[in-house]
Chains A and B, each alone.
Chain A
C-alpha cells in the first residue's frame, strides 16, 4: 500500500486505480498515516509545506465564527474620482512611514562610542555563531545541527 501511495504522488496512477486507492486509504488507520507521510514529504520537497499549528487552527476557527457580509457596495461613478483622490494623503503618509522605518533599520540605535567592553568567549552572541556555521560549515554534523537556536 505504501508503494501505491508513493506512486500516486509521483503521478503514476490511472483514474480507475486512483478510485480504488482512495477507497482503501479511508478504511485503514495505517494507510491514513502513510497518506499523511507522503503528503508532508511531497510538500516539503516542493517548498510548499505549511504546518498546521494549534495557532493556525484557532485563527481559522475565529475566521469561521466572524459574520459574513452579504452583497457588495453600490458603484457611484460621480464619486469615483473624488474617492481615488482621497487616497493620495494616505499614500503620502504611508510613504513617509516607510521612509522612517527604513531609516530606523539603517541607523545605529546605540550611538555611544566609549562604552565598548572586551569580547569574552562566554558572551559571544549565539546567533552570530549559529549563522556562521549554518552557512560555512564543511562538517555536516555542525551544518545540520546548527541554526535551531532562533527557531520556534
Chain B
C-alpha cells in the first residue's frame, strides 16, 4: 500500500514538472501575454539588410486590444490598431497616406493561439536561459521537419512570457530576419491617452483604400497538394494598376511562416515572367499558364515558393 502511494505521488510530481517545462506551453503563454498585457518598449527590426528602430505601446482595455507602433528612424510612419481595425499612416511627399489593413501579425505578437498545426511540422527544443533588454529570457527553438520552412528562435521573457527577441535562420544557419526589444516595460496603467495619431496639420491627409472583390469572384483555378502545414488564411481580389486587370492574392501560413500567391491575367503588351529570383531574403517564383501570371512570394525557402506555383492549374 505504501509502495502504491509512493508511486502515485511520484507520477503526480513528474507529470506536474513536465507540464511546467512543456516547451509548447511556452508558445501558448507567449501568445496570451502579447494579447493581454500592457507593455511599452523600443525594438530594433532587421530585414533586407536594413535595421530600423520602432516604438511600440500595447494595452488591453476591456475586451479590446490597442496598439500603436511608430518608426523612430527615417520617414515618419505609424500604425494604430484597435481590435481588428488597423490603420497605417505613411508620409508620401507632402501628404500623409492613411491605409486600412485587414490584419497584422507583428512582433512581438507573432505566435499563434494554437500549437496543433505547428506540432505537425516543427520540433521544439529549449535553450539556455539568456538575457535580452535587461530581462532574463527562456530560449525556445522551433526546428522544421522538412525543407519547406525555416528555423525560428524565440527569447521569451521569464516573468511575463512576452517574446523579447526573434531570429529566423535558414538551413545553413544564415540569418533571414531578426527583431529584438532594446527596452521594454510591462505595466498595468489604465490609460489610453497615447492612442491617437501624431497629426501634422501642415500636411494633407489622404485615405487610400483598396476595394476587395473577393466575395463575388469565382476561383477559376485548382490547387494541387501544397506543402504540409500550410493553410489558406486570406483571399483578396483587388484592381491592378493596369486597367481592367484583377489581381488575386492568396495568403498561406503554417502558423509562423507565410507566403503570398498571386494569380493575375497578363495585360496585352506585357511579357509574362517565368523562373525564380530572390530579393534580400524573400524568394519569388513565377510561372506563366494559359494567359495567367502565377507568382509566389515569401520569406520561405525557394523550394516552397516553387511548390506553390507548380500546384496551380487551370
Which residues does A use to contact B, with CB under 8 Å?
Answer: 33, 36-37, 40-41, 44-45, 47, 49-51, 53, 104-111, 113, 115-121, 123-124, 127-129, 131-132, 134-145, 147-148, 150-152
Contact = CB atoms under 8 A, between A and B. Distances in A.
A110 B196 contact: no
A58 to B, nearest CB: 15
A119 B234 contact: no
Given A107-B265, A108-B292, A40 B205 contact: yes
Contact of B97 (A106, A127, A151): A151
B52 interface: yes
Nearest to B110: A138
Contact of B80 (A45, A53, A135): A45
Contact of B47 (A118, A135, A139): A139
A-B pairs, 7 with minimum CB distance: A108-B291, A141-B52, A110-B266, A151-B208, A108-B265, A132-B260, A119-B273
B288 interface: yes
**Residue of A49, A50, A116, A121 most packed against chain B (CB within 10 A):** A116
A106 B289 CA distance: 14
A151 B71 contact: no
Contact of B246 (A37, A40, A105, A134): A105
B290 A113 contact: yes
B148 interface: no
Interface residues of B, number: 95
B197 A44 contact: yes
A47 B85 contact: yes
B87 A44 contact: yes
**Residue of A108, A129, A136, A140 most packed against chain B (CB within 10 A):** A140
A147 B201 CA distance: 23
17 contacts: A37-B201, A45-B80, A47-B100, A116-B272, A117-B273, A124-B279, A127-B241, A127-B247, A129-B282, A136-B259, A139-B179, A140-B56, A140-B106, A140-B107, A144-B71, A148-B90, A152-B97
B78 A144 contact: yes
B294 to A, nearest CB: 11
Contacts of B208: 150-152
B288 A113 contact: yes
